[in-house]
Amino acid sequence: TETALPRITVIGTGYLGATHAICMASLGYEVVGLDTDPRKIERLQSGEVPFFEPGLPELLAKTMATGRLRFTTSVEEAAAHGDVHFICVGTPQKPGMDAADLTYVDASVTALAPLLDRKVLVVGKSTVPVGTAARLTGLIKELAPAGDEVELAWNPEFLREGFAVEDTLRPDRLVFGVASDWAREQLEASFRPIIDNDTPVVVTDLATAELVKVAANSFLATKISYINAMAEICEATGADVRHLAKALAFDDRIGGRFLQPGLGFGGGCLPKDIRAFASRAEEIGVGQAVSFLREVDAINRRRRSRTIDLVREMVGGQLNGKKVACLGAAFKPNSDDIRDAPALDVARTMHGLGANVRVYDPAALDNARRAYPELRYGTSAMDVAADADVVVLLTEWTEFREIEPSALASVVKHRRIVDGRHALDAEFWRAEGWEYRALGMP
Ligand code: UGA
């Protein structure tokens, strides 16, 4: 006889939670998504995804039609529904500090636990400092009427923005941090269709599961800063980081992915995760082990100022009064996310230096406008490039890669371009009469 599928609740319907809820419902589970923000819930319930993610709106429409998915602000409703409760709330950087802010994680557990009166599994998915699960286990046991019956597990999430659906339904691996066989069985039942798809599962303890996530993001950030450090050396020696990266990538022990030099990493994950990890390691007395992450962060920040240096050099040493067209605002293409976006950081700094900056992005303009009303925005690449002294490519959207140098030449004042992402064919642009500069190449 087939055991019934566990009923799932997802707490927090931001980027991670909304994707998780929709994908789980698409796999056949009965899912309730919970959030404290009534506007988010209203939009999701009416079939609208409140952020940009390719493929997700279609999947939401499809799953809403099955009746297996609903969204609510009622924690009572969520608690009554779920056999397995996924915690998917944000863990942003604490303002002015490196540590992670666990306010939302703690608040969701504090709200949910007192309503747990039967044996259920609470599963943390949020990225947290190691040791958080152990602390929350204690909190749940203290607050839940079902006491020891309620268990906590940790199941880190590795999805990338822009590929969220694909990464959730076909992940590279699943990591189950559990304290008992029962918890492992519950997680297996919650991911059955994905496991049956030959997805590797690593079963481990809670602390290891918490660590896998920050270790993975730290590795990725380190890889990016490594190639960007090599770019700095190239700049000092006349070497070409594009060829260097290509040659390294042929060694499949190194691999070519996340070896794209340029403006460096941003977003709501990599920057804050490496800082929180370094900070947590210091707290527990092993700061030295990951002190290199401070360097990874510093290299990454230098790419932003060095990009501005290139622009400044190109316009003759002074940004003041120069018209600068910024192509891109999102932290990466196929996203409207502007959290710690290198593109906007560069645009704002140049604005602060007196440049006449105009920004265009295919998806992130609304978010950018809201966060930085002091900047000026345009409706297309051609629009912001009109009469520009210099064009700066900051996010490698396909639509920017496909720009014809001759078309752009017809609107700018000077044919000067800084390619912050090595997204364009340098030789071709130069042949078309453009002064082309990029980090790490002559
Ligand atoms: C990252 C991880 O890749 C995911 O595995 C993880 O689940 C997620 O964080 C998270 O913790 O939630 P994401 O922030 O969506 O995903 O973006 P990435 O694709 O990792 O890109 C991060 C930044 O690195 C972007 O600003 C991108 O432009 C930059 N990057 C990436 C480079 O500068 N060079 C590269 O070679 C690759």
- Give the total number of structural domains in the chain: 2
Q: Collect all residues with Cβ–Cβ distance below 8 Å to 233 and sequence separation of at least 6.
A: 239
Mean pLDDT across 382-399: 98
* 197 and 225 belong to one structural domain: no
List ligand 1's pocket residues with C-beta within 6 A: 127, 157-161, 217, 220, 224, 258-260, 262, 264-267, 269-270, 331-332
Q: Nearest C-alpha to atom 1 of ligand 1 is from which residue?
A: 160
pLDDT of residue 1: 40
- Given a cut of 90, whether residue 2 has pLDDT beyond it is no
Amino acid at residue number 254: I
Residue 122 vs residues 78, 132, 372, 418: alpha-carbon distances, Å: 12, 13, 38, 49
Q: How many CA atoms lie within 13 A of 132 on its CB side?
A: 30
Tens digit of each residue's pLDDT (9 = 90 or more) over 110-145: 999 999 999 999 999 999 999 999 999 999 999 999
264 - beta bridge partners? none
| Structural domain contains residue 431 | yes
Which of 15, 125, 128, 220 to mutate for ligand 1's pocket (most ligand atoms within 8 Å of CB)? 220
* 65 and 93 belong to one structural domain: yes
* CATH number (domain holding residue 389): 3.40.50.720
Sequence-ordered strand ranges (E) for 5-89: 8-11, 31-34, 69-72, 84-87
The parent domain of residue 270 ranges over 218-437
Number of C-beta neighbours around residue 87 at 10 A: 25
The values of phi and psi at residue 51, to 5°, are -150, 170
Compute, in angstroms, the gap from residue 218 CA to the centroid of ligand 1.
Answer: 11
Share the mean pLDDT of the chain: 97
* 368 and 262 belong to one structural domain: yes
What is the percent of the chain with per-residue pLDDT over 90, rounded to a whole number? Answer: 99
- Given a cut of 90, whether residue 424 has pLDDT beyond it is yes
**pTM of the model as a whole:** 0.96
- Given a cut of 70, whether residue 435 has pLDDT beyond it is yes
Residue among 235, 246, 175 nearest 207 (CA):
175
pLDDT of residue 4: 83
| Structural domain contains residue 442 | no
* 291 and 391 belong to one structural domain: yes
Compute, in angstroms, the gap from residue 41 CA to the centroid of ligand 1.
Answer: 27
Q: Which atom of ligand 1 is nearest to the CA of 259?
A: 36
Among candidate residues 23, 88, 269, 326, the one labeled active-site is: 269
pLDDT of residue 160: 95
pLDDT of residue 3: 63
* 119 and 185 belong to one structural domain: yes
Q: Which of 204, 230, 255 is a domain's end point?
A: 204
* 94 and 121 belong to one structural domain: yes
Tens digit of each residue's pLDDT (9 = 90 or more) over 59-80: 999 999 999 999 999 999 999 9
Q: Give the annotated binding-site residues for substrate.
A: 158-161, 213, 258-262, 266, 332
| Structural domain contains residue 210 | no
Mean pLDDT across 379-390: 98
Residue 310 vs residues 132, 267, 300, 413: alpha-carbon distances, Å: 43, 23, 16, 18
* 228 and 80 belong to one structural domain: no
* 310 and 259 belong to one structural domain: yes
Mean pLDDT across 350-371: 98
Q: What CA–CA distance (Å, rounded) separates 41 from 4?
A: 27
* 353 and 269 belong to one structural domain: yes
Q: Which of 151, 169, 204 is a domain's end point?
A: 204
Assess contact for 245 and 260: CB atoms under 8 A. Answer: yes
| Structural domain contains residue 104 | yes
| Structural domain contains residue 404 | yes
Tens digit of each residue's pLDDT (9 = 90 or more) over 183-194: 999 999 999 999
Residue 269 appears among annotated catalytic residues:
yes
Q: Which atom of ligand 1 is nearest to the CA of 268?
A: 14
Compute, in angstroms, the gap from residue 128 CA to the centroid of ligand 1.
Answer: 18
Residue 317 vs residues 192, 212, 348, 385: alpha-carbon distances, Å: 60, 45, 18, 20
Residue 361 — pLDDT band, cuts 50, 70, 90?
very high
| Structural domain contains residue 2 | no
